[in-house]
Amino acid sequence: MGSWIESLVDAEQMTQYESGDRVRDEDPPLIAADAPSIARSPRAVVGFIGRTERGPVNEPTLIRSYNHFRQVFGGHSPISHVSYAVQQFFLHGGRNAVVVRLVNRANRAMLRIPAGSEHLELEARQPGAREFLRASIDYDGLESSPAKFNLVIQRLARQGSQFVEDQEIFAGVSVQDSASRYLPRVLARSRLVMLRGGVPALRPNATPPRLPGEPTPYIEVGVRGSDGSELTDYDIIGSDRDKSGLWSLDAFERMDLVCVPAPPGRDHGTTTFLAAERYCARRRAMLIWDPPHSWITADTAIIGARESVMRSSNAFTYFPRLRSRVDRVGLPSVLPACGAIAGILSARSDNGEWEPGSETDPACKISLAPTLDVDAAKQASLNRAGVNVLTPTGFGGSVLTGNVTLASPGSVSELWQDLDKRRLALFILNSIESAGDQAIARSKEPAVMFEERVSLFLRALERRGAFNNARGESWHRPYFVRTMPEDSNEPETPHIRVGVMLHKAAGFLVYDFELARSGCRMLNSHELERDQLTG
């Protein structure tokens, strides 16, 4: 199977759809083989939000591996499961994680460096109890410049350790505001510290070794930082205006899945769920929601799921949680599976968002096991209640069975209770809008380019099997793209209707798009039976 980055257009197969020498009337107009196409995206982008050991706060950071995560956000921590979720994401095939660290009243560590009768006060750039900083001062090469000094800042792996995780050296820094390397300007570029208070009149006192050859003495942190309190719903939700919490993910154009790992022994509230699923609806992403800790048996999970008010076609959950088969000191006995599931879904999307899970798909690693086995009858009950089930495979791992969202039965289209179909629909809508934006920016006739690109895109999805379960008669295409009659009030704003057949042979999901100067946007959506289509 080809890479997602490759073009969806195969020129050899895009020439024409013929029966003998005659093109059938019901086929769409022929499209040139060299027409621009919508390119496949790389693997899914997954957002992880919560507390971490350290790192920037409310600054979404693209992470490419767990080692990269450790460099930026630290390692495993007893206050949060985010690090475990990210680790499992990469172990299970994920590639693109966007991590947002959140805090609640966390404090910064502080250094006080003597400077004559005053002190140079520095504080950690980021809050947290794991910012083990130290500093040294010397005047090497600056003996004739009484206002200048060299500053070394180090971050240690732990208190009292000699293992340096990060270091910054600022040479020739000055306490004079007219100098090109004036201290505040230099420290503005520091990753580790920032100035607290004013600049002392005299340069800081040197910290030379007591005797030649001895190690350089360092000034240790005088006031340690703190991790603060448990996150509240408000910390997680954040603010659209400040781009904090969930809203910080807006910094990334693409977002496919969002994980808000529940902290050890505690569940997130309904307020967080509602805000997260609405944010995902706006971004056309799916929320992976960890099950409540009260779901300790299949029966309690069935009852809890049936009574739950947490319902959304933009979210899905699972049962049970995972445990490690490896007995390791400090490793939690129970782990959320959201990261592993996100990695599996990300890897699966190489073949198509519509591909259902199977025992041959990527599965949870053999080092992880469901905390309990769920028999077939209770699996079916959980699936009907909107809960996917982690079930063991014959290969020692476990797979996610059920393929259901948290959509309320009977309250929305039956289609949106199907996880794979929901993900496929979101993928199609995001791709179409992207094609519309590009057509507006690149073409004098955006409607023509839009129709060409979207038709090629949907035709390629058809060839790859995206609509196989919805096909009716063999001659009928499971999609259409057509320009709507011109609006006399907005003659320069084309409206284009796109229909896709995802769930039944006789009906289409129909979306109307507007190609305005400001960009492409979806106006509305509805379902139509095939015999309701005209023109």
Using the predicted structure, report yes or no on whether residue 526 has a pLDDT greater than 90.
Answer: no
DSSP state, residue 39: B
- Between CA 271 and CA 289 the distance in angstroms is 13
Beta carbons within 8 Å of 103's beta carbon, 6+ residues apart: 51, 57, 127, 128, 227, 228, 231, 235
Query: E-strand spans in 245-342?
Result: 257-259, 286-289, 315-319, 322-324
Contact in structure between 245 and 49 (CB atoms under 8 Å):
yes
Q: What is the DSSP string of 416-465?
A: GGBHHHHHHHHHHHHHHHHHHHHHHHH-SSHHHHHHHHHHHHHHHHHHTT
The confidence score (pLDDT) of residue 509 equals 87
Q: What is the DSSP string of 154-214?
A: EEESSTT---EEEEEEEEEEES-TTSTTBHHHHHTT-SSEEE-S---SSPPPP---SSTTS
What percent of the chain clears pLDDT 70, i.e. is strictly above it?
Answer: 84
The confidence score (pLDDT) of residue 488 equals 52
DSSP state, residue 249: G
Which tens digit of pLDDT belongs to each residue from 276-326?
999 999 999 999 999 999 999 999 999 999 999 999 999 999 999 999 887
Q: Coil, helix or strand for 311?
A: coil
Q: Which of 146-155, 243-252, 445-454 has the lowest mean pLDDT?
A: 445-454
pLDDT confidence bin for 506, thresholds 50/70/90:
low
Q: Which residue has the tokens 């206002």?
A: 147
- Give the residue among 275, 277, 242, 243 at the shortest CA–CA distance from 257: 277
User: Mean pLDDT, to the nearest integer, of 194-218?
Assistant: 91
Output 431 or 30, whichever has higher pLDDT.
Answer: 431
Which tens digit of pLDDT belongs to each residue from 312-356?
999 999 999 999 887 776 678 899 999 999 999 988 876 555 555
Beta carbons within 8 Å of 136's beta carbon, 6+ residues apart: 151, 152, 207, 216, 217, 218, 219
Residue burial 155-192, b: 16+ Cβ < 10 Å; e: rest:
bbeeeeeeeebeebebeebbbeeebeebbeebbeeeeb
User: Mean pLDDT, to the nearest integer, of 219-227?
Assistant: 95
pTM: 0.86
Q: Which of 43-52, 80-89, 241-250, 439-448 has the lowest mean pLDDT?
A: 439-448
pLDDT confidence bin for 161, thresholds 50/70/90:
confident
The confidence score (pLDDT) of residue 281 equals 94
Q: Which of 147-161, 255-269, 365-379, 502-516 has the lowest mean pLDDT?
A: 502-516
Beta carbons within 8 Å of 22's beta carbon, 6+ residues apart: none
Q: Which of 135-144, 170-179, 223-232, 484-493 has the lowest mean pLDDT?
A: 484-493
